[in-house]
Amino acid sequence: MRLKPELKGALFALLGVLLVLAGLWLFIGIRFHFWTYRAYDRYVWLAANLPVARSLWHGEIKAGDDVEELIKIWRPHMITRCDRWVELRWFPGGPSQDTISFIGICVVAKDGKLASATSYADDGVLVQVFFSTLTSDETSELRTSLKAHANQWRAESQRQPQQIDPTNASHSMNSETNGKSSTVASPR
């Protein structure tokens, strides 16, 4: 049984349209690293709420860039400095005193140069590693350093409870303690 030429042409046109759509989906997935509409929706939402996210997605912020320049330009919501590490965090809506954000952007610098950047989410949608130059030994060193910093902060806050004014969103989560470690939350 042979197909009528009109039907054959329609099938080829449909196949062509499907190939173009599949190619477009593949291009977007490879270029922007999201494969579903849900991931795209999260990207749009995150880029609208955290402008730094868009710059990371489009490769405008790269490994090796100066951390102090990034801090000056993008004003992170939280900066944690410990030893030779600096961790920067941005949260949708900024820092909050009464909630914990499970969605955000985290950038880590080693010796003043950016070494890792990720977006994270509690639901696993659009957990993205933008870049990472950290070896497993460096990652272990970072975790150890941050854990020591958190233990030091916890011990100090138990000795001297902070008086937090709920009307003042700009406060130091931890003052400079030993010249090596500090955590600061800053207003947007």
Rounded to the nearest angstrom, the gap between the alpha carbon of residue 55 and the centroid of all alpha carbons in its chain is: 11
Q: Residue 127 is part of which domain span?
A: 31-160+179-185
Please indicate, yes or no, if residue 92 is contained in any of the structural domains: yes
Please indicate, yes or no, if residue 20 is contained in any of the structural domains: no
Q: What tokens appear for 13 in the block?
A: 């046109």
Please indicate, yes or no, if residue 67 is contained in any of the structural domains: yes
Confidence (pTM) = 0.69
pLDDT at residue 173, as a whole number: 41
pLDDT at 127 over 90: no
pLDDT at residue 163, as a whole number: 55
Number of domains in the chain: 1
pLDDT at residue 168, as a whole number: 39
Please indicate, yes or no, if residue 3 is contained in any of the structural domains: no
pLDDT per residue over 24-78, tens digit each?
A: 888 877 776 677 777 788 888 888 888 899 899 888 999 999 999 999 999 999 9
Please indicate, yes or no, if residue 9 is contained in any of the structural domains: no
Average pLDDT score over residue span 106-128: 89
Q: What tokens appear for 137 in the block?
A: 């030994």
Higher pLDDT, 164 or 63: 63
- Rounded to an integer, what distance in angstroms lies between the CA atom of residue 188 and that of residue 186? 7
Average pLDDT score over residue span 98-121: 91
Measured at the CA of 64, the angle between CA 41 and CA 118, to 5 degrees, comes to: 25
Please indicate, yes or no, if residue 2 is contained in any of the structural domains: no
